[in-house]
């Protein structure tokens, strides 16, 4: 894309009421806009990143047999009454509103209830199980605090997958499958090394759950990490019994701040009992369906990546989620028109080769271009100038490196295809 | 996809409270689920159709230079106060709710206000104009009546594009560009012949707007069509003055029921004035930005297609939006295992060739398979049986035709690639 055509502009200062690093940088870079506290819009650059995260997650959800659907945000009070999660003293993050006839409705903060209810039309026999369905859907949560930028929104995109199984065994084995898929997802997203499977509370549903916690000072959680075992325990559940159960010793654990980027639950028959989702087994006997739920917030992951990788100059995107792979910068094209022509030529070569490129063809100073490039954080910067043309090279600087290097002009595409960042 | 793996089941009856043909058929076919009146979920088959409609629209929005973003549903009262569209006596379809601190917020029924406000950070000079941005985003409208299935939802996906221009001329010319793009979209979606550019009220914004009205008995609007000119007038604005302005004669017009599948507005400076969105022109003078807005509801289009094309047996999808292109049906595989093997072989050939296929590999009677196939409405049905194997053919029946034909087994892929439905 030509940067002159991109409507979003960078800015020097984030809004004064924005306290989180991720939102500050993302707003300054033109990735997002702050609508209200905890409510953000995704501008073209931000949407590109978000969609890449979504694509990585979708691929792994399909790989475990997930079928994609999309449930409504407006929720029926009747259904949530059945599971006893409608009342505000049971769930304190509801946004509720009313239809014209005065009937109450709520904005989904999760979707166990409507999905369990829906599945009654589609699950009747053991032959229908197991089944896994998922969605990328907007959740609304009326959080009291919303100071972590896009890591804790009042409105945010969530991938939620739900499994429906015949019994505990089948559910446990699907749970392990999803756990592996989650590890793969965070690896692919470039935050695998900092992300720990974490033993956590099961909430209302079960004895425990597994969180995926990414270590960052911006996190709201405290976890205790065993690095050797690549495993952690959430502070909320850390006690002698848990340590014993897990075979961990307190002195092996390191306390760290972290952000929960995913959470997986064994739900048991909590919701199938409440909403009467049953199936007939091989003998024709009616049995409750066993369920699990598995969440990842793509926006929260995006925020965590910014927090983890940014430096004092701006964002540093991993290749997998970067809005573009190459930031092509032309130096002083007005002084020498050849520069513009060469940049255009290289730009077209990138497009033909399917390499995602943002070409800074704006009328701006070199200093402005470099500062914006650092802020936006595209993995590879390529510079075309009078000098590089004379030398028949392109100057290349990786965003995560300090040094730049010279690449022979005819090796540029090969460099892009081979570069692993 | 193997139909045995698809979790959704067809059903003989729609819910008794569902009065619209589109929702009845889509529920029976397992495309959607009714959450509440005017609130529907998209199941895998339905989401596939919706995504295809989205893809067609996105392509044309990109072609006119649109940049995709995604705005929030939760809306700031302050911004809507400025344009005087917050109060319920001005806009009577708001869903409103409250943050924990008691402050009111509304669920976006459209996005002129927040987008105009956002653009103040990004538009400052004539060099920044024109710009067009769009999104596929969920709208919430607290409709009193919601009896038209997915053609009028209380929560629904909408593509809304907005143009920002220097002056009336530039805006008028962008408007014409979008009008052409819309004509192209409805052609591509297979309802071009039944869809008319319609002269309609401009609402609060301007003297008039253009609707895109698709003729169907299920429509809630009355339009007067001039078939020769491929143009119509909405009943709401039909009077002598309008007829004169448009150069139409009343006796040339035919009254029809229709559904509005798209609507495009010249907004003038209605919102830029209210929210102070200005730019500096070539002389450094401050000028208001001229705007336009352009909507299409992909779900409404999907409902209109069902209404238009369905027959007494079920849905008839145009090729462009069908969930799959081929419905592969095996007959009596238990009687002769060769049938299953041949079906599997053909299925794999389709997958390799990138032809989207739903293979009915379920244990069901031939009658059930045919009835479901008619209901689901995939364009091409291909039958593998003992008989077709013996003849070295595949029996092919297009959903929209009565007759079936025999295709030589080795010509099946070529048939698929060449078939224009």
Domain boundaries, chain B: 10-223+259-309, 326-418
Binning pLDDT at 50, 70 and 90, where does residue B419 land?
confident
Q: Tell me the per-residue pLDDT of B231-254, one tens digit each, with 9 for 90 and over.
A: 999 999 999 999 999 999 999 999
pLDDT for the residue numbered A202: 83
Q: Is the domain A21-309 a CATH 3.40.50.720 member? A: no
Q: What is the pLDDT of residue B399?
A: 97
Tokens representing residue B376 in the block = 């689901």
* Through-space distance between the first and last CA atoms of chain A, rounded to whole angstroms: 22
The pLDDT of residue A419: 83
CA angle A380, A386, A12 (to 5 degrees): 50
Q: How far apart are CA A213 and CA A195, in angstroms?
A: 5
Distance CA A322, CA A51 (A): 10
Cα–Cα distance, B223 to B244 (Å, whole number): 17
CA distance A347 to A359: 7
Alpha-carbon gap: A130 to the closest alpha carbon of chain B (Å): 10
For residue B74, give the nearest of A35, A68, A72 by CB distance.
A35
Q: Which of A267-271, B201-205, B262-266 has the lowest mean pLDDT?
A: B201-205
Q: How far is CA A162 from CA A68, A127, A292, in A?
A: 11, 18, 6
Comparing CA positions, the residue from A379, A388, A397 lying closest to residue A345 is: A388
Inter-chain touch B70–A41, beta carbons under 8 Å: yes
Q: What is the pTM of this model?
A: 0.97
Chain A residues in contact with B43 by the CB 8 A cut-off are 69
- Residue range A116-121: average pLDDT? 98
B128: confidence class by pLDDT, cuts 50, 70, 90: very high
Q: What residues have CB less than 8 Å from A46, skipping those under 6 apart?
A: A26, A30, A31, A32, A302, A323, B69
Pair B361, B330: CB distance under 8 Å: yes
Other beta carbons within 10 Å of A363: 9
Average pLDDT of span B122-146: 97
Interface A-B, measured as beta-carbon pairs within 8 A, has a size of 134
User: Could you tell me what percent of chain A has a pLDDT over 90?
Assistant: 95
Q: Whole-angstrom Cα distance, residue B317 to residue B302?
A: 9
User: A236-251: per-residue pLDDT in tens?
Assistant: 999 999 999 999 999 9
Q: Over the stretch B161-176, which tens digit does the pLDDT of each residue have?
A: 999 999 999 999 999 9
Q: What residues form DSSP beta bridges with B300?
A: none
Contact list in B for residue A138 (CB cut-off 8 A) is 73, 138
Q: Is residue A207 predicted with pLDDT exceeding 80?
A: no
Average pLDDT, chain A: 96
Q: What pLDDT does residue B134 have? A: 98
The H or E element containing residue A254 is strand A254-268
Query: Which of B44, B71, B97 lies at the smallest CB-CB distance from A68?
Result: B44
Burial of A420 (0-12, 13-18, 19+ CB in 10 A): exposed
* pLDDT tens profile A280-328: 999 999 999 999 999 999 999 999 999 999 999 999 999 999 999 999 9
8-state DSSP, B125: B
pLDDT band at B46; cut points 50, 70, 90: very high
For an interface test with A, give the residue of B3, B5, B36, B119 to mutate (most A CBs within 10 A). B36
pLDDT tens-place string over residues B348-361: 999 999 999 999 99
Q: Which residue of B has its CA nearest to A95?
A: B97
Tell me what pLDDT residue A301 has.
98
Confidence of residue B421 (pLDDT cuts 50, 70, 90): low
Best CA proximity match to B40, nearest among B30, B52, B54, B48: B30
B330 φ/ψ sector (left φ>0, alpha ψ -120 to 50, else beta): beta
Optimal mutation site among A41, A112, A124, A133, interface B, most CBs of chain B within 10 A: A41
Residue of B nearest to A137 (CA): B138
Mean pLDDT of B269-291: 98
The pLDDT tens digits for A210-219 are 999 999 999 9
**A155 CA: distance to closest CA in chain B (Å):** 7
Average the pLDDT over B376-403 and give the result.
Answer: 97
Count of CB atoms within 10 A of residue B367's CB?
Answer: 8
Indicate the length of chain B as a whole number.
421
User: What is the Cα–Cα distance from A185 to A192, expressed in whole angstroms?
Assistant: 8
- Cβ A121–B9 below 8 Å, yes or no? yes
Rounded Cα distance, A72 and A293, in Å: 17
Name the pLDDT band for A389 (thresholds 50, 70, 90).
very high
Q: Which residues, numbered 50 to 89 in chain A, qualify as contacts with chain B under a Cβ-Cβ cut-off of 8 Å? A: 50, 65, 67-76
**A228 exposure class (CB count in 10 Å sphere: 0-12, 13-18, 19+):** exposed
Preferred mutation among B93, B99, B364 to probe A, highest tally of A CBs within 10 A: B99
Instruction: Give the pair of three-digit tokens for residue A93.
Output: 């993050």
Give residue A28's pLDDT band: very low, low, confident or very high (50, 70, 90): very high
Return the pLDDT at A421: 65
Nearest of B197, B189, B123, B195 to residue B162 by alpha carbon: B123
pLDDT for position B163: 98
* Among A81, A169, A162, A164, CA closest to A129: A164
- What is the reported pLDDT for A203? 74
Q: Which residues contact B201 (CB under 8 A, 6 or more apart)?
A: B208, B209, B234, B236, B237
Query: How far is the alpha carbon of A180 from chain B, nearest alpha carbon, in Å?
Result: 22
Could you confirm whether domain B326-418 is CATH 3.40.50.800? yes
| DSSP assignments along B344-394, one per residue | HHHHHHHHHHT--EEEE-SS--HHHHHHHHHHHT-SEEEEE-HHHHHHTEE
Smallest CA-to-CA distance from A223 within A210, A205, A241, A206 is with: A210
- Tell me which residue of A267, A283, A282 sits closest to A119, measured CA to CA: A267
Least confident of A43-52, A273-282, A412-421, B12-21: A412-421
pLDDT band of residue A206 (cuts 50, 70, 90) is confident
Distance from CA of B33 to the nearest CA of A (A): 7
CB B205 within 8 A of CB B268: yes
Q: Could you say which of 3.30.930.10, 3.40.120.10, 3.40.50.2000, 3.30.565.10 is the CATH number of the domain covering B10-223+259-309?
A: 3.30.930.10
Mean pLDDT of chain B: 96
> Could you give the angle at the alpha carbon of B240 between the alpha carbons of B237 and B244, nearest 5°?
100
Q: ipTM score of the complex?
A: 0.96
The Cα A396–Cα A380 span in angstroms is: 7
**Using CA atoms, how far apart are residues A396 and A415, in angstroms rounded to an integer?**
10
Instruction: Give the span between the Cα atoms of A304 and B282, in whole angstroms.
Output: 43
Do A191 and A304 touch, CB atoms closer than 8 A? yes
Neighbours of B128 (CB within 10 A): 18
Q: Using CB atoms, which residue from B99, B118, B154 is nearest to A41?
A: B118
Beta-carbon count within 10 A of B217 CB: 11
- pLDDT of residue B207 exceeding 90, the answer is no
Concatenated DSSP letters of B143-174:
-S---SGGGS-SEEEEEEEEEEESSHHHHHHH
pLDDT digits (tens, 9 = 90+) for A43-53: 999 999 999 99
Does A11 sit within 8 Å of B36, measured CB to CB? no
B336 touches chain A (CB under 8 A): no
A-contacting residues in B 4-33 (Cβ below 8 Å):
5-9, 11, 30, 33
Cβ contacts of A36 on chain B, cutoff 8 Å: 72, 74, 76, 105
Structure tokens at A417: 């295809």
pLDDT band at B115, cuts 50/70/90?
very high
CA dist A20 and B207 (Å) reads: 46
Contact A317, A378 (CB under 8 A): yes
> Could you report the per-residue pLDDT of A322-357, keeping only the tens digit for each?
999 999 999 999 999 999 999 999 999 999 999 999
Q: At what angle do helices B44-63 and B168-188 cross, to 10 degrees?
A: 140
Window A:140-179, CB contacts with B under 8 Å: 140, 142-144, 154-155
Exposed e or buried b per residue across B159-195, where buried means at least 16 C-beta atoms within 10 angstroms of its C-beta:
bbbbbbbbbeeebeebbebbbebbbbbbebbbbeebb
Cβ–Cβ under 8 Å, residues B73 and B107: yes
Kindly state the average pLDDT of the residues B263-268.
Answer: 95
HSE, side-chain direction, 13 A CA sphere, residue A71: 29
User: Where do we find the tokens 């930005």?
Assistant: B289
In angstroms, the CA A129 to CA A140 distance is 30
Residues B123, B132 contacting (CB under 8 angstroms): no
Q: For residue A60, what pLDDT is reported? A: 98
């Amino acid at each position: 894309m030509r940067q002159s055509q991109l409507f979003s502009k960078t800015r020097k200062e984030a809004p004064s009421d924005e306290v989180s690093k991720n939102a500050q940088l993302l707003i300054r870079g033109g990735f997002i806009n702050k609508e209200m506290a905890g409510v953000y819009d995704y501008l073209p650059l931000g949407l590109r990143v978000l969609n890449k995260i979504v694509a990585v997650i979708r691929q792994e959800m399909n790989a475990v047999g997930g079928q994609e659907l999309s449930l409504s945000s407006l929720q029926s009070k009747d259904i949530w009454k059945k599971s006893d999660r409608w009342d505000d003293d049971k769930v304190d993050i509801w946004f509720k509103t009313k239809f014209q006839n005065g009937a109450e409705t709520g904005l989904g903060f999760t979707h166990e209830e409507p999905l369990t209810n829906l599945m009654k039309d589609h699950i009747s026999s053991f032959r229908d199980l197991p089944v896994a369905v998922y969605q990328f859907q907007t959740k609304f949560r009326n959080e009291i605090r919303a100071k972590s930028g896009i890591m804790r929104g009042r409105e945010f995109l969530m991938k939620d997958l739900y499994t429906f199984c015949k019994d505990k065994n089948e559910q446990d084995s699907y749970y392990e499958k999803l756990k592996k898929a989650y590890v793969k997802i965070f690896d692919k997203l470039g935050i695998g090394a900092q992300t720990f499977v974490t033993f956590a509370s099961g909430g209302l549903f079960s004895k425990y759950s597994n969180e995926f916690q990414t270590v960052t000072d911006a996190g709201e959680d405290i976890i205790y990490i065993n690095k050797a075992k690549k495993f952690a325990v959430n502070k909320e559940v850390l006690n002698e019994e848990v340590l014993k159960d897990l075979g961990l010793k307190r002195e092996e654990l390191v306390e760290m701040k972290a952000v929960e980027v995913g959470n997986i639950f064994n739900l048991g028959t909590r919701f199938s009992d409440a909403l009467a989702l049953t199936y007939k087994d091989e003998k024709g006997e009616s049995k409750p369906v066993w369920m699990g739920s598995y969440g990842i917030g793509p926006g929260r992951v995006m925020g965590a990546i910014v927090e983890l990788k940014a430096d004092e100059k701006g964002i540093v995107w991993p290749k997998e989620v970067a809005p573009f792979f190459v930031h092509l910068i032309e130096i002083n094209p007005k002084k020498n028109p050849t520069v513009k022509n060469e940049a255009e030529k290289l730009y077209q070569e990138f497009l033909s080769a399917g390499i995602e490129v943002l070409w800074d063809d704006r009328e701006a100073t070199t200093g402005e271009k470099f500062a914006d490039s650092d802020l936006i954080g595209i993995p590879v910067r390529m510079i075309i100038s009078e000098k590089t043309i004379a030398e028949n090279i392109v100057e290349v600087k990786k965003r995560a490196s300090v040094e730049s290097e010279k690449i022979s002009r005819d090796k540029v595409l090969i460099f892009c295809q081979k570069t692993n960042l």
